[in-house]
């Protein structure tokens, strides 16, 4: 058996097996973006604020613009709170 | 984040800022779900729903209400801090007429159960759906 054939059998085949197993284990996580929140883990992301599309609220379109520019002030009246 | 309300992103802006789908907490798919739920519930009810996800300063309720002051009377803020495991729903003078505290508490309960399973976006979507169902259609 020449040297290259020995190398192919004793190095190439084990590497191939390892690669197949690694793909089977981590492949899904590489394709799908994983869920980035687990209860109890710290939250290190920047605060973000989501608003509806401005055209979705025609009745309050002006107030949406006002809200975006931050020019209005209003006081909170009610609501609810919770912890988990 | 430790500071008063003005320390957070003051400029409210529609849509993702920068490459949020990569850097932010949500995947592109989750962001589109969130956007759809926000837009649909706001369009159906005429109430401006908005979602804040981030750290609160202590006391958390006061911080959420300070954030709400940037919105208008006819809006509802869902403020969620996954790190502190706290959520606040804040209603304004006009939106509170259509959304009593009991309806908000029901939405908060549903959101809590999703959040404790680690489903952040699912909880937000469920909360928005409950809130928009409770507030009904605009009267005008």
Name residues 80-139 of chain B within 8 A of A (Cβ).
81-93, 95-96, 99-101, 104-105, 107-109, 111-113, 115-120, 138
The mean pLDDT of A31-40, rounded to a whole number, is: 70
* Complex-level ipTM: 0.75
The Cα B44–Cα A46 span in angstroms is 30
C-alpha torsion sign, points B42, B46, B52, B56? negative
The Cα B46–Cα B38 span in angstroms is 11
Between B19 and B79, where is the model more confident?
A: B79
The mean pLDDT of B41-70, rounded to a whole number, is: 88
A24 touches chain B (CB under 8 A): no
Q: How far is A62 from chain B (nearest CA, A)?
A: 10
Q: How many CB atoms lie within 10 A of CB B139?
A: 7
The mean pLDDT of B64-93, rounded to a whole number, is: 88
In order of their start, the domains of chain B are: 26-133 (3.10.310.50)
Is a pLDDT exceeding 60 seen at residue B18? no
Is a pLDDT exceeding 80 seen at residue A61? no
SS (H, E, C) B89-130: EEECCCHHHHCCHHHHHHHHHHHHHHHHCCCHHHHHHHHHHH
Tell me the three state secondary structure of residue B83: coil
The mean pLDDT of B49-66, rounded to a whole number, is: 88
A2 touches chain B (CB under 8 A): no
B3 touches chain A (CB under 8 A): no
pLDDT mean across residues, chain A: 78
Residue B68 · residue B90 · CB < 8 Å: yes
pLDDT in the model for residue A68: 55
């Amino acid at each position: 058996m020449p040297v290259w054939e020995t190398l192919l059998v004793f190095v190439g085949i084990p590497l191939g097996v390892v690669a197949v197993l690694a793909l089977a284990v981590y492949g899904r996580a590489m394709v799908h973006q994983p869920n980035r929140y687990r209860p109890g883990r710290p939250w290190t992301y920047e605060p973000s604020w989501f608003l509806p599309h401005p055209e979705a609220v025609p009745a309050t379109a002006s107030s949406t613009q006002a809200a975006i520019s931050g020019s209005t002030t209003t006081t909170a009246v009610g609501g609810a709170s919770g912890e988990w | 984040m430790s500071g008063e309300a003005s320390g957070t992103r003051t400029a409210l802006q529609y849509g993702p800022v920068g490459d949020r789908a990569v850097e932010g907490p949500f995947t592109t798919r989750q962001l589109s779900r969130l956007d759809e739920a926000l837009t649909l519930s706001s369009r159906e009810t005429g109430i401006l729903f908005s979602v804040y996800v981030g750290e609160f300063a202590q006391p958390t309720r006061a911080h959420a209400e300070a954030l709400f002051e940037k919105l208008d009377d006819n809006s509802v803020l869902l403020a969620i801090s996954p790190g502190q495991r706290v959520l606040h729903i804040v209603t304004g003078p006009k939106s509170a007429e259509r959304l009593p505290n009991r309806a908000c508490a029901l939405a908060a309960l549903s959101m809590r159960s999703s959040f404790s399973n680690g489903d952040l976006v699912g909880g937000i979507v469920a909360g928005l759906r409950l809130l928009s169902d409770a507030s009904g259609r605009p009267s005008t």
